[in-house]
Structures are given as structure tokens and as C-alpha cells.
Amino acid sequence: MIRLLLPLLTLLVAFTSSASSGTWSLDKAIVGATSNQQLPVELEDGPFHIKATLNLHRLGGTAAGIRIGDSLLFGFDARNGSLFVEGRAVGRTKLLDAPNPLEANKAFAFNVRRDADNRTSFSLDGREVFTTDKLTGPVDHLTIRPLRNRMDVMALTVSGSLRHPSNEVIVDQSIIPLLNDGSDLALLDLNIRVKEATTLKSVRLSFAGTTDTKDIRKLTLFRNTSANQRRTDQPTTVSSDIQSTTTLAANLPLKQGSNHFWLAVQITPGADLMHQVTVTVESVALEDGRTMSPPSTSPSPMRLAYAIHKQGQHNCHTFRIPALTKANDGSLLAVYDMRYNSARDLQEHMDIGLSRSTDGGQTWAPPVPIMDMGEYGGKPQKENGCSDPGILVDTQTGEIIVTACWTHGKPNTHQWVGKGSEPGHEIGVSTQFMAVRSSDHGRTWSQPENWTQSIKDPAWYLFAPAPGNGITMSNGTLVIPTQGRDANGHPFSNITWSKDRGKTWHVSSPARTNTTECAVAQLSDGSLMLSMRDNRNRHLKDHTNGRAVATTRDLGETWQKHSADHGLLPEPVCMASLISTTLPDGRHVLLFSNPRDKHHRRNMTIQLSLDDGKSWPQQRHILLDEGRGYGYSSLVMIDAQTIGIVYESSVADMTFQKIPLADFAIPQPAQSAD
């Protein structure tokens, strides 16, 4: 057993802060700690180095470790004796392959180093055992976690951009859709940092820029145990009398350092979807009469939204894969996968469902299945799944066609992988290309039609509709985006078109290979643009990341690469939506939506282009949801002034929002000289 020649007083934790040299050191050793010890040091974003000499009194699945902020815990002693990591930076608990060199009651060197490229390495006794590039941003605490162990910290030094204790208010606000169903949603996160323990008396909020404060039914301030871990079991103050300036009374103890809260909002059920909420934290008041204010900012508005589906509603686990259109009578139709048992893809029990709105999207009728293959062939419904709907309105006749793919049999397969779908046309061998039709604006639907034999090349492994919306061209040609796997099993994107009102269909050549889900729109010169999800973007994370974009003047017989290809429209590899419209002054406009991020399905954004997609200026981007979701979306023009979007958001499976076209800061047309 290690004997530390220190007086008994060192059993108490003692810390000091060194001079402002960017280094903090533990003043006296911590001996035999059995409870969490949070060190009074925080780090700004950027490189840092944590150097420690530690000792564990025993090994045997104690899960002892050191927590680096709220993002990562490095564990020394998992149940199987291995090293492990867990937390937001790594997802689920990950057992490390590196052998565990630690022995009970034997001191070891522990080093954590983050470089300028956000690469963080962890080493034990000079040997690297784990690296990650996900530990980013400031570190607001370092915590020794003995858990079921006893730990000695004989030495510990932290170097980097230190954040010394101070009095400040930090507001973190992420834009999300605010559902008008009365549920609690996060309006902002609040970190009140104080040099000494005190009491919070009130928080003063401004709602300047909010359309109507009556849209806000209730505000609740919740206390968190740490950053990024919102809890709902500790409400601290509630207000249902919301004015343009609102003060939330409180009487809450604040400890030295960081104190984390989050502000929840409930939107009045049925509130107008064209409204928005803007909130600013003006100040917080402390018990001694002092007030503190966060740095002045220009907060972004959050738009109200309608939840077409939340997980578990309508006796269905998950809705996924939206497609949206407007019928000739003005009603809005949203179709999607109804995934009854789980969120997983085919093969599973799922139907194509429909929600219909007759008031511009303010309310939606309950979902109904419109393509359901039941127990075809004597197989259970989980072996007769339909998925990936596309929707098309023939604007000349009013007929609506919904396409989807159907897999029969083949349990535990996926149509895009291996033999999940195979060459040929046979049901049960190849995934089928299906369609249903409506001639009464989506009120009733035909029985499913099987188009597979008439349009699929039998050499191909798969041919399927691309989810989203098809179009009626200005000359009346019907076009739907499609996708498949060729005779070698390689993915491609193309279009399928009809000149006889959907009686017969013709399949174009591929616009690109190693691409899949795609969206089609007509450009100002009558040609077609195809925007494609590109598998190459799984690895391309530099300036070459972006949607594959091609155009055609001959319905896909030949294709040309567009100037926006791989550069202007970043993507994390995900479905996207593309539509076109004409402004009252005659200018042609493209609208595009996707998770605008190279790495994750987050930052759902609508972008507008006035030059057939050659540029998508930042000032004509509208961010709807910074959170993570599945990220699929579909756009529609509700009327000449209003855009509608249904998408898989961070707060609901299927979310609908309305955005005025005027919000895109479209410049006035240039005036010609007389």
C-alpha cells in the first residue's frame, strides 16, 4: 500500500490558483477521496493539457474515472476490468481495446492533451490509449469521480486558456420549432457564474420581437445538475402572465462557480403558425441587490410549428420520410412512412400514411394509411412493408399519385444492402415500385398499382421512387425523381417521366452514380435540375462536400454537371427537398431545404436562389432547427407568399412550419435604364 508522507490535514481538499500564466496546479494532494471532487478550474475552447498522478485503492468494476466537462468521462475500471469512455462526445459507453495497465495501489501518470485541431489524446504512463475529435468547446468543470473506489490525486496540473471564477451570465439559445401543442420546449439555457455563493432573486426577460405574447401559455425555469443535462424534476419558478418584459421571481441558492438552468416554454395550443417568439435575458438579480446582464446579442426568432406526429402517437411508433404537396383545391397533403413497431427501415411493419390540411397547414386531420399491403402472400405485415413515399400532383387534371417501394418477405434485410433487393421483377425477390392515385384531392385512394415490370430494368438490383415531391413541368410533362442499384449493385439517381398524364412512364439514364435520394425542379430556361444525396460526402468533409447537382434539357437522356455541384450545398449525406416558384414580378426562384451541416443531421435550413442555383447567399437562409433529427424534409408553396415545410425535427417525428417568402430578404428587381 502506498504511504503518503503528508499530515492528516491533507485529507481535506485544498486548491489554489496559480498566477495568470495559463497554468493551474493542485496545491495539496487529495488522499483517499470517496466522493466526487470538482476542481475549481475551467477551460476555454482551444488546446489544453491535463497532467495528473493518480492512484486507485482497488480494481474490480468500480467505474472510477475523471470527467472532462459534461462531454466525456474517462473510466479506469469497467466491470470487465477494461478502460472505458462515455458521454456526449462518444455516445454510448465504449470499452477500449487497449489493455488496462493499472494495478491497485500503484501510482500512474494520466495525461489528456487537446491540440489546435481538436484532437484529444488520453495516455496512461506515457502510452496513448484513446483519441477523439469530438471533445470540443469550453470545459466548464473537471471532476474526480471515485464512485465505488478510493482515489488519491498526488499531483494535477492544467495548462491552457483558463477561465478563472468570475461573475457573469452566459445564455445559450438554440433555434428549434416551437410546437403549438402545450408541451414544454427549451427556450434557452442559462449559466449563472458567481465568485462566491449567493442567492438568485429574479430573472428579467424581454420578448421584444415576439408576434403576440399571448401565444406563450407558460414559462418554467428548471435547475440542472450540470450543463447540457436538462432536468424536468426541479422546476424552480413558473409564470403564466407573460408580458413584453417579464420578471421570473426566484429564491434559489447559487454555489460558487457555474449554476445551470434552462427555461421551458409552453405555446398556447392552436397558436397561429405564422407567429414567432423572440426572447432575451436582460438581467439576473442577486440577494445583495446586484444585477448581472449577459453580453448584448441580437436573438434569432423561433417559429411556431405543428406536430403532425410525435413518437408513439396514433398507435404508431414513428413517422418518417415526409413528402408534401398542394392539391388543386388548395388542400395540403403530407405523406410518410407509418412505422408501427420501431424507427427502423424496411423490412418491417410499415404503411404509407397521409395527413391532410384544408386551412393552409394550421391544423391537420388524423393520419390514415393509403398504401397497406396487409398480409399479402400469407406473410405477416412485418414482411410486407411499404416505405419512401413520393407525391406528385398533375396540375392539369388534378390527379394525385403517391409512389413508394414495397418489400415482400426478406425479413431482417434492407433493399439497399446485399440481397435485400435482387435483379428481376419477381415479388419476394426484388423490391417493388408501387403507386396509388386520388382523383378527389386526396380524400380517397385507389388500390395499389405495381409498376415494377413496366419500368424496372430486370438487370438492376433495385429501382424505387425517391422520397419527396414530383413536378408537372410547364409543358405538362410529369416528372418524378427516382433511384436504384444497377446491375452491379451500385447506387444511382435519375428521373422517370410521363407525357400521357401518367398512363405510361419512361426511365432516364442515371444522372450520377454513388448517389441515391434526389429532388427535381424546373429551371427558368425549362431545363430540369436534379439535386442528389451523394455517398461520397461520407468522407468528403472539406470544401468539396456538397450535394451532387446535374441538369438536363432532354428529360435525362443526357446530363450536365451544374456549377453548384459539390460545394454550394453542404450535406451530412441525407435526403433534401428542392422546388421552384415564380415571384409576382416574374423572377424565377429555387428553394432548397436540408440539414445544412457536413457532419450531422442538424441545422435544418431553407435556402433561396434567384439565379437557378448558381448561388445561395447567406442572407437568404432561414434556420428552422439547430437540433438533431433524422433530417428529411419536403417543401411546398402554400400560396404565392408562403412556403410550407414538413420535416423530421429535433422535437417531433413530423413537424410542419410556414414561412413568409418575404422573410428571405429578396431584393427588389433591378430597374432598367430609360
* Parallel/antiparallel/unpaired status of strands 400-408 and 384-393: antiparallel
Whether residue 371 contacts residue 385, with contact meaning beta carbons closer than 8 Å, is answered with no
* Helix/strand/coil for 314: helix
Q: Where are the alpha helices (DSSP H) in 285-439?
A: none
- DSSP 8-class letter at 453: H
Whether residue 46 contacts residue 159, with contact meaning beta carbons closer than 8 Å, is answered with no
Whether residue 217 contacts residue 187, with contact meaning beta carbons closer than 8 Å, is answered with no
Q: Where are the alpha helices (DSSP H) in 355-408?
A: none
- Whether the bond into 347 is cis, omega within 30 of 0: yes
Grid cell, residue 217, equals 401559455
Q: Rounded to 5 degrees, what angle do the CA atoms 179, 184, 185 make?
A: 65
Residue located via cell numbers 390514415: 368
Q: Alpha-carbon distance 45 to 661, whole Å?
A: 38
Using CA atoms, how far residue 284 sits from 223, 301, 385, in Å, is 15, 22, 54
Q: Alpha-carbon distance 237 to 250, whole Å?
A: 6
* Helix/strand/coil for 536: helix
**Is 375 annotated as catalytic?**
no
Reduced DSSP (H G I as helix, E B as strand, rest coil) percent helix, strand, coil of the chain, to 5: 5, 45, 50
Grid cell, residue 90, equals 462518444
Grid cell, residue 500, equals 400521357
* Spatial CA neighbour of 451 closest among 494, 480, 416: 480
Whether residue 53 contacts residue 35, with contact meaning beta carbons closer than 8 Å, is answered with no
Whether residue 110 contacts residue 151, with contact meaning beta carbons closer than 8 Å, is answered with no
**β strands within 610-653, DSSP E:** 621-625, 633-639, 642-647
Residues facing 438 on adjacent strands: 400
Choosing from 42, 282, 348, 517, the catalytic residue is 517
* Spatial CA neighbour of 592 closest among 579, 575, 582: 579
Please write down the HEC assignment for all residues of 495-544.
EEEECCCCCCCEECCCCEECEEEEEEEECCCCCEEEEEEEHHHHCCCCCC
**Residue type at position 25:** S
* Spatial CA neighbour of 160 closest among 47, 52, 27, 67: 47
Q: Alpha-carbon distance 480 to 508, whole Å?
A: 11
**β strands within 288-331, DSSP E:** 291-292, 302-309, 318-326
Count Cα neighbours of 638 within 13 Å in the Cβ-side half-sphere.
22
Q: Alpha-carbon distance 237 to 221, whole Å?
A: 5
* Spatial CA neighbour of 651 closest among 619, 624, 617, 672: 624
* Spatial CA neighbour of 472 closest among 559, 388, 399, 577: 399
* Spatial CA neighbour of 150 closest among 53, 38, 30: 30
Grid cell, residue 204, equals 428579467
Q: Alpha-carbon distance 637 to 639, whole Å?
A: 5
- DSSP 8-class letter at 24: E
* Spatial CA neighbour of 219 closest among 247, 239, 241: 239
- Which residues are known catalytic residues? 517
